[in-house]
Structure 1
Amino acid sequence: MSLGERVPLSAGCAQAPTAAHDVALLDLDGVVYVGPDAVPGVPEALAAARSAGMRLGFVTNNAARTPEEVAAHLTELGVPAAPDDVITSSQAAATVVAQRWGSGARVLPVGGPGVAAALRAAGLTVVERAEDAPVAVVQGYGREVGWAQLAEAVVAVRSGARHVATNTDATIPSPRGPLPGNGAMVGVVAAVTGQEPLVTGKPDPAMHAECVRRTGARTPLVVGDRLDTDIEGARRAGAASLLVLTGVTGPAELLAADPGRRPDLLAHDCAGLLTPHPQVLAEGQGWRCGAWWARSGSGGLVLGHAAEGTPPGGEASGDGLDGLRALCVAAWAAAPGHASAPSVEAADEEARRVLQEWGLAAGRHP
Structure 2
Amino acid sequence: MSDHLAGGYDLAIFDLDGVVFLIDKPIPGAAEAVERLRADGTSIAYATNNASRRAADVATLLTGMGVSAAPAEVLTSAGAAAALVAEQVEAGSPVLVVGAEALRAEIRDAGLTPVESAEDAPVAVVQGYGPEVGWKILSEAALAIRAGATWYATNTDRTLPSPRGPLPGNGSLVAVIRTALDREPDVVVGKPQPALFTTAASLAGAERPLTIGDRLDTDIQGAVTAGMDSLLVLTGVSGPKDLLSAPAECRPAFVAADLSGLFRPADRAVVSAAAVEGWTVTRDGDRAVLDGSGDPVDALRLLCGVTWDGVPPANVTGNSAAATELLTTWGL
Alpha-carbon shift at residue 321 of structure 1 (Å): 1.2
Is the counterpart of residue 130 in structure 1 residue 118 in structure 2? yes
**CA contact under 8 A between 2:12 and 2:45: conserved in structure 1?**
yes
Which of 248, 251, 268 does residue 237 from structure 2 map onto?
248
Give the structure 2 partner of residue 355 of structure 1: 327
Q: Which amino acid aligns with 2:190?
A: G
> Map of 1:1-366 to 2, 5 A cutoff?
15-197=3-185, 198-278=187-267, 287-297=274-284, 300-305=287-292, 320-334=296-310, 340-357=312-329, 359-361=330-332
Q: Distance in 1 between matches of 2:117 and 2:225?
A: 36
Alpha-carbon shift at residue 168 of structure 1 (Å): 0.6
| Runs of 4+ residues over 4 Å off in structure 1 | none
Give TM-score, length-normalised by structure 1.
0.85
Give the structure 2 partner of residue 3 of structure 1: none
Alpha-carbon shift at residue 276 of structure 1 (Å): 1.0
Q: Distance in 2 between matches of 1:90 and 1:279?
A: 36
Alpha-carbon shift at residue 14 of structure 1 (Å): 7.4
Q: Distance in 2 between matches of 1:92 and 1:343?
A: 43
Give the structure 2 partner of residue 311 of structure 1: none
Q: Secondary structure at the match of 2:3?
A: coil
Q: Which has the higher helix share?
A: 2
Considering only aligned residues, what root-mean-square deviation do their CA atoms show, in Å? 2.0
Once the two structures are superposed, residues 80-136 of structure 1 have per-residue CA deviations (whole angstroms, 9 ceiling, x without a partner) of 111111101111211221222243222111101121122122222222221111111
Once the two structures are superposed, residues 160-187 of structure 1 have per-residue CA deviations (whole angstroms, 9 ceiling, x without a partner) of 1111100111100011100000001111
Alpha-carbon shift at residue 299 of structure 1 (Å): 5.5
Q: What fraction of aligned residue pairs are identical, expressed as a percent?
A: 46
Q: Distance in 2 between matches of 1:53 and 1:348?
A: 44
Gaps of 5+ in 2: none
**CA contact under 8 A between 2:217 and 2:250: conserved in structure 1?**
yes
Once the two structures are superposed, residues 250-271 of structure 1 have per-residue CA deviations (whole angstroms, 9 ceiling, x without a partner) of 1111101011101100011111
Alpha-carbon shift at residue 297 of structure 1 (Å): 3.1
Residue range with higher mean Cα deviation, 201-210 or 98-107: 98-107
Q: Distance in 2 between matches of 1:53 and 1:303?
A: 40
Alpha-carbon shift at residue 214 of structure 1 (Å): 1.3
Residue range with higher mean Cα deviation, 343-352 or 51-60: 343-352
Give TM-score, length-normalised by structure 2.
0.93
**CA contact under 8 A between 1:49 and 1:274: conserved in structure 2?**
no
Task: Between the two structures, name the one with larger relative contact order (CA 8 Å, sep ≥ 6).
Answer: 1
Q: Secondary structure at the match of 1:334?
A: coil
Gaps of 5+ in 1: 1-12, 307-317, 362-366
